[in-house]
Structure 1
Amino acid sequence: MRAKYAVKQISVFLENRKGRLLEVTEALKEANINIRALAMAESAEFGILRLVVDNPEKAKTALSKCGFTINEQDVFAVEVDDEPGSFHKVVRVLAEDDINIDYTYAFVGDSHKAVLIFRVQDESIEKALEALSQNGVQLVEPIFFYS
């Protein structure tokens, strides 16, 4: 099940200085890469920009050529109704199966649906996908993100 639902996320490590995010977006624009989802976490000295893009391999190449330090992780996505309690339902299923969520981010899609992206430990992905599927949570196939 993991291979069917694994979405490639690219993490870009950025010095916390003026213009650095602009350089990332410029590199992706020049490579004709579409950003489908993103989240950014920062500290005083650096930030981590997490991206789901339409062509992860091409994006990694473009960013590496520009000198960015990048990493790739498997994440998974679920689609829920865009209404109160939907996020809670997913988190509850994972918690009840003793699956720790490293981080999550979301965006609102079409048709009053929200897409939630989750990162759990690699050894927990299969267990998470199985638990969610068994509890009626709609898993999102990677083709949703890729061109």
Structure 2
Amino acid sequence: MASQFSVFMVNKPGVLARVLGDFAKAKINITAITMMDSAEHGVMRVVFEKPEAAREVLAKLNMPYNETDVLCVDLANKSGALAVVAEKLSKGHINISYAYCTAGGKGGRTTGVLKVSDVKKAMKLLQNHNKASKAETATRRSKAALG
């Protein structure tokens, strides 16, 4: 589980660059990010490694934002990885309102960010997902090392 910030910005050139630059100056790493736009404003949905520090930067910038609990799932960067998670949540009757993923290296790991109807129940349903997923990667690496 992580805090996702939905930051509301004027949709003009340079605004996103300034905001991202201030996070960089504060040495706040971004775990995942997605942008949406409308005619009047843009909405940046972002998960930070240091949410407390991000709040301080947003306050200094006087940027309006909301915080939401989201589910962050460690995924293999391969076809079907997110589908497996969606299927498990579906069987548990948990709705996914929206989702986005980080970019990962080929054969590496990526993070799926999911806004779900019940974060705690989803975490229970998926508690073994990350363990199994990491074990699969370790097994794959071991076989590759042998060959």
The TM-score bracket by the shorter chain reads 0.7 to 0.9
* Structure 2 residue runs without a partner (length 5+): 132-147
Contact between 1:82 and 1:114, CA under 8 Å: does it hold in 2?
yes
- Name the structure 2 match of 1:57: 52
* Structure 1 residue runs without a partner (length 5+): 1-5, 140-147
1:130 equivalenced with 2:124 (yes/no): yes
RMSD over aligned CA atoms reads 2.0
> Which has more strand, going by share of residues?
1
Alpha-carbon distance, 1:36 to partner: 2.2
Task: Give the TM-score of the pair, scaled to structure 1.
Answer: 0.79
Aligned length: 131
Task: Give the TM-score of the pair, scaled to structure 2.
Answer: 0.79
The structure whose RCO (Cα within 8 Å, separation 6+) is larger is: 1
- Which one of the candidate residues 5, 29, 51 is aligned to 1:10? 5
Contact between 2:11 and 2:41, CA under 8 Å: does it hold in 1?
yes
- Name the structure 2 match of 1:47: 42
- Name the structure 1 match of 2:134: none
- Name the structure 1 match of 2:23: 28
Alpha-carbon distance, 1:128 to partner: 0.9
Percent of aligned pairs sharing the same letter: 33
Alpha-carbon distance, 1:132 to partner: 1.7
- SS of match in other structure, 1:137: helix
Q: In 2, Cα distance between the equivalents of 1:33 and 1:85?
A: 31
- Name the structure 1 match of 2:96: 101
Matched residue type, 1:61: E
- Name the structure 2 match of 1:114: 110
